[in-house]
Structure formats: structure tokens, C-alpha cells
Amino acid sequence: MQRVQPDVWETEVESPFPGLTVHAYLLIREAGNVLFYNTGHRHEIERMAELGGVAYQYLSHRDEVGETLALIHERFGAKLAGHIAECDDFARVRTPEILFENRERHLDAIEVIPTPGHSLGSTCYLVDSPHGKRYLFTGDTLYRTQDGGWRAGFIPGHNTAEDRKTLAESLRLLKTLEPDVVFSSAFSGEAGFQEVAPGEWPGLVDRALDELLEQAK
């Protein structure tokens, strides 16, 4: 793992299948560390133990389900959180203790923001860091691209025309946020996160939204 923010550690990259690369991120908190997304690297789970363990694990969507969900729970007693719409998918490994379906605040500092479109239960998380920054975890709703931009997580042949409309609405919602650092789960460039200058985020989302809608023409 490597530290990428004062209170955020990034797991070693992994490729669940060709063409896809992902990271998970561990948020260090006095009240209990939070893991966003999931990792299949068992040695990284041991590294998390050295960093204080995992009290909570928040999934962005069903594609993050893997056998290590059970291992992380067994190792640390971590409580699993995810959208209720994908509870059956999560339950293939273990049923979440924390389920949600609306925008709400958790653990005093984490805003849960459902952003359907990539999948029915896709969810983003906006975190207020005590170090003065706001972190946005976008899962695969928006992911970082090879050229350093951002792209909507729409998969032709998998997602439907209705999904495109739903995802567009989710992007319009994300555009209204004001993050300082954005972390995707999947990515296709050299890094899965980006520090965002004041006022820069709406333009990045607009470009992703324009590309998403242009694909439908």
C-alpha cells in the first residue's frame, strides 16, 4: 500500500480481468478505519492490520464482490455497507450489516450518494477529511481514463438506453459537488485518483456527460 493523502492509503493495483485495473482505498480514522471498494490482495489486507485494521467497508457496487469480503470481516470484524438494491449480489459472499437506498450521512463524515446507471445500486461517497479536504469516491460511476480525463461507466452491450439516461442524471448530481480529490475504483490511466483545483470539477463532469450522450446519437 502507499499513502496518497494524509489519511488515505491506496492498495496495490490489480487486474480482475484483461483491460480492467482497480485500487481500493483505506481511510484512516480515529473512530475506525474505512475501506472503500475491495481488494483481492491478501498481503494488502495484512498491511491494513498494521495501519489499524478495517472497521467498515463501503462498496460502490456489485462488481466489487469477492471472497476477500469474508476475509476482511473475519480478520477485523469489519461491518459491510452497500446499496439495498444489490443486497442479493453482496450476499453471495456475505450480507451487509449496513444497507441504504437514499442520500444520507454516515459516521459523521461520510455522505452516501446513490448514483445509479452503471449498475442499479452504484453509489458514490463524499468524505469530509479532518485534514481540510473533501474526498469523492466515485466507484465506476465515473472512472479515470488513459488521457487523465474522466468517463462515465457505461458499458455498451451491458448497459441499456435507460441506464444511459439514469447515469446522465447521476453525473448531473455529481457535478454539483465540490471535491478536492476524486478516487475511482476502476481506471485505465496511470492513476486512479486526481486532485481537483477549485472550480475544475464541473468541467470534468461535463466532458464525461457530453461523451456519454454523444454515444447515443
**At 185, which CATH number?**
3.60.15.10
Give me the pLDDT at residue 164, please. Answer: 83
Q: Rounded distance, CA 208 to CA 97, Å?
A: 34
Tens digit of each residue's pLDDT (9 = 90 or more) over 41-54? 999 999 999 999 99
Phi, psi dihedral angles at 94 (to 5 degrees): -165, 145
At residue 151, the 3 state secondary structure works out as strand
Number of other residues whose CB lies within 10 A of the CB of residue 162: 9
Q: Which of 53, 214, 40, 64 is nearest to 138 (CA)?
A: 64
Range 107-136 average pLDDT: 94
Q: What is the mean pLDDT of the chain?
A: 91
Which residue's C-alpha cell is 468541467? 203
Mean pLDDT of 90-100: 95
For 180, the domain range is: 2-214
Mean pLDDT confidence for 80-88: 96
Instruction: Provide the domain count of the chain.
Output: 1
Q: Residue 217: pLDDT above 70?
A: no
pLDDT tens-digit readout, 2-59: 999 999 999 998 876 666 788 899 999 999 999 999 999 999 999 999 999 999 999 9
